Structure 1
Amino acid sequence: MNCQPNLKALVYNCTNNNQICLLCDTPAEQAYPLCVACEQELPWLADHCLRCALPLPMANLTCAQCCRRSPAFEHVVALWHYGFPVDTLISRFKHNRQWPMGRLMAELLGHDLQHRYAEGLMQPDLLLPVPLAKRRLRERGFNQAGMLTRWLSAQLGIGCDERLLLRTRETPAQQHLNAKARRRNLRQAFCVAGHTSLQGRHVAVIDDVLTTGATAQAIAEVLAKAGARRVDVYCLARTPKPGQM
C-alpha cells in the first residue's frame, strides 16, 4: 500500500509565482514562500563541528566526541540549529502534515547543497532516507525523510532509493533517551535490502533532525559494510548539547 501523499497537489502553493510567506503571511517576493525578513531570522547554523555539525563556539573545530571516536559518516550538512521557529516548522511538517513547510525547508537545503557542491563538496551518487519503522509509518501515513529525499533528488538531479535502506525492528522512540541509550536502542535496527551492493558508491543519508548522531552512526556502519566508500548526512537541523543555546 502506498501511504505517501500526492506531493504535486499538496505543495502547489510552494510553486505558485504569487507566493505568500509561510511564516508571516506577507508577500514573499522571492522564488520560494519565505520573505527576506523571516529568512534572516531563522536560526542558521554558524560555527559547528567539521564532522558532525554540532554547534560550537568557534569555527574550524572538531568536537570532543568526534575526536575521541571518529564517526562512520564522513560529513554532516545541516542548515539550522534546532531552535525557534525551525523546530515549529519541522513539527508542523512531521506531525500536522503541513507539507509546504517541509517543501520549503527542503528547497532551502537544496540551494545550500548546490552552493557547497560548487565550492568543492563532493556530490553523492545516491540519496537514501532514514527509514521509519512499519508501525510508525502506519500511524503517521508517511515518512518525512522520504519526502525530503524525493524533493532533494529532483532539485539536485541525484538519484534516490526509498527501499534500499530498511529498519529491521521496532525500537522505542528516541526523543527521551540519552546518547548511550540511543546507541543501544539502535543496535541491529537497520539493514540494506536483499544482497544490494553499494561497492565504491558515495551515499548521502537524509533526515529532518540530527540529535546525538546515533541513528546516523548506525546507518553509516550498515552502509559501509554494504560497500559504500563514503557516507554523508544531510539534515534540516542539528540540535545543540543540552543547555548550550
Structure 2
Amino acid sequence: MVLHSLAEAATLGMLPNKQGVSYGDVYMPMTPMFHVHAWGFPFTATMVGLKQVYPGRYAPDSLLDLILNEKVSITHCVPTILQMVLKEAQDRDASFNGLKMIIGGSRLTEGLAKTAMAQGIEVYTGYGMSETAPLISLTEFSLNEPEMTEDEDIARRCMTGKPVLMVDAQVWGEGNKPVGKGQENTGELVLRAPWLTQSYFKNDDAGKGAVGEWLYAHSRHRLHTS
C-alpha cells in the first residue's frame, strides 16, 4: 500500500493544479474507509502533507457543510454520492468553486459530468479494482493540451484515463496479443504493477490462463486513438 500510495502521489503531483494535488489542498474522502482504505487516498494525502477532513456519516447535507466550511478542494466518490451532493447544493444555491473530484466505482456519464462542471466541480474518472489496491488509471490533462470543444472535454473526463506511475496496462485479443487502438479494437484488460494481488479472493480459477505476472481484469476495453 505504501508503494502504491507513492505512485499515486507522484501521478497526482505531476498533474496541472486544477487537477493534481498541491500542498495547500484540503482533502476529504467521500468513499468509505473500508473500501480499500478509501481508495488509498488517505495515505497519499498524508505523504503530501494535506489538511484532511473525515466526514463520519455520508449524508449529503453534512458532506456539503464540510466541503463549504472546511474549504475542501479535493475528494473522490461514486456517481451516486455525487448526484446526492449536487442535489443538496442545488437546493441551497451553493457552488463548489473548483472542487477537484475523482469518480470511480461505476461509470461517470456525460450528463452527470456536465452537471458537476456547471456547479463548479472539476470532475475526473479513476479506474481500478480492490485487487489493484485500487487505482490503476486516471483521467489526465496536460499543460499543453490542444484546445477542445465542450463535448470533447466532457468525453475525456468520462474515460478511464491513463495508467498511473508503475502500472503497465494492455488490451489483449486472441492469442494473448495486444490489439490496436480505435473503437473497433476491443479486448481484455491485463495489468502488471508491483502491488497487484496474486489472485482473486477465493477464486483462484479466475487467474488461470494468465501469462507471466499479468492480472486479468475480466472486462472488455479499448485503447483510445489519443
- Give the TM-score, by structure 2 length: 0.33
Structure number having the greater strand percentage = 2
Higher RCO (C-alpha 8 Å, min separation 6): 1
- Give the TM-score, by structure 1 length: 0.31
